[in-house]
Amino acid sequence: MMYDKMIPVITIDGPSASGKGTIAQLVAKELGFHYLDSGALYRLVALKSSQEGVNISDEDVLAEIASNLDVSFENNDVFLENKQVTDAIRTEQCGVLASKLASYQGVRDSLVARQRAFRKLPGLVTDGRDMGSVIFPDAVLKIYLTASAEVRAQRRYKQLIEKGINANINALQEEIRERDERDSHREIAPLQKRLDARLLDTTSLSIFQAQNSVLEWYRACCAN
Ligand code: DC
């Protein structure tokens, strides 16, 4: 839609546990923009398919699940078929399964329109792997947010423990490495730092500093 193109989008892509979700939400809040956690959609497909006992090799059924996903986002909660699944989709098993089924073209295609529908006034901040490259190629500001694998494992560990989910730091680091490998080397919409994205390495930045970098870039390039 022509009109959509006038609604500003900030995309934050990056590897797992880089902190992109936290930063994206803070920036959205500061600007009064909408927020899309695209990874949650892949995690929801993963949750639903494991509930249904679908085989990971069954691309058609997985794509069908992605097309028919009955999901809603309210405040900070995620609902699948009216059941609150906010924490259920955050487990590492769900993340690993999401990463595997995200390599299927059929699954990705089924989620495109749903993601673009989040583009509403006054603007959108979104995080994922292909937000700037595939879903919102005309975004006004594209960021590639990353941090060292060690720091990302520590952050993910802290996040899980705070949610009361059991975790092991070494196993997490290994899972993060494997997931990075799969997400960056798949054929379709791989995670890559594109030339039109600005690099934000948060290894030694606080959340506040990272949030401010994004806001400064946005104000410099795009805010009236
Ligand atoms: O951001 P996350 O860890 O919640 O995402 C879970 C998985 O979903 C991730 O490992 C790869 C996939 N994903 C994707 O392929 N494209 C996106 N835009 C977002 C997530």
Q: How many angstroms does the Cα of residue 37 sit away from the middle of ligand 1?
A: 9
Q: Do the domain assignments include residue 224?
A: no
Minimum CA distance residue for ligand 1 atom 16 = 129
- Domain contains 52: yes
Which residues form ligand 1's pocket by a CB distance below 6 Å?
A: 16, 38-39, 42-43, 95, 98-99, 102, 128-131, 179, 183
Residue 167 falls inside a structural domain: yes
Separation between Cα atoms, residue 183 and residue 178, nearest integer Å: 9
CB-side exposure of 73: number of CA atoms within 13 Å?
15
Tokens of 214: 């994004």
Q: Whose CA is nearest to atom 20 of ligand 1?
A: 39
Ligand 1 atom with the smallest distance to the CA of 43 is: 6
Report CA(72)–ligand 1 centroid distance (Å). Answer: 18
Mutate to test the pocket of ligand 1, among 129, 159, 186 (most ligand atoms within 8 A of CB): 129
pLDDT, residue 46, reads 98
Per the structure, the complete domain to which residue 109 belongs is given by 8-218
Whether residue 187 lies inside any domain: the answer is: yes
One-letter identity of residue 21? G
pLDDT digits (tens, 9 = 90+) for 57-97: 999 999 999 999 999 999 889 999 999 999 999 888 999 99
Give the three-class secondary structure for 82. Answer: coil
Tokens representing 45 are 């497909």
Q: 195 forms bridges with which residues in the sheet?
A: none
The answer as to whether 47 is a domain residue is yes
Classified as helix, coil or strand, 209 is helix
The pLDDT tens digits for 205-221 are 999 999 999 999 999 99
Total structural domains within the chain? 1
Contact criterion met (CB below 8 Å) for 214 and 223: no
What are the residue ranges of helices labelled H in the chain?
Answer: 20-31, 38-51, 59-68, 92-101, 105-116, 149-162, 169-185, 207-221
Residue 24 lies in a domain: yes
pLDDT at 3 over 70: no
* Ligand 1 centre distance from Cα of residue 224 (Å): 32
Buried b / exposed e across 149-169, counting CB within 10 Å, b at 16+? bebbbbbbbebbeeeeeebee
pTM of the model: 0.93
Q: Is 4 exposed, middle or buried (0-12, 13-18, 19+ CB in 10 A)?
A: middle
DSSP state of 162: H
Instruction: Tell me 143's DSSP state.
Output: E
Q: What confidence category does residue 2 fall into, taking pLDDT thresholds of 50, 70 and 90?
A: low
- Per DSSP, 203 falls in state T
Please check whether residue 3 lies inside any domain of the structure. Answer: no
Q: Is 63 helix (H, G, I), strand (E, B) or coil?
A: helix
Residue 205 lies in a domain: yes
What's 94's domain CATH number?
3.40.50.300
Residue nearest (by alpha carbon) to ligand 1 atom 4: 39
Of 1-15, 20-34, 114-128, the least confident: 1-15
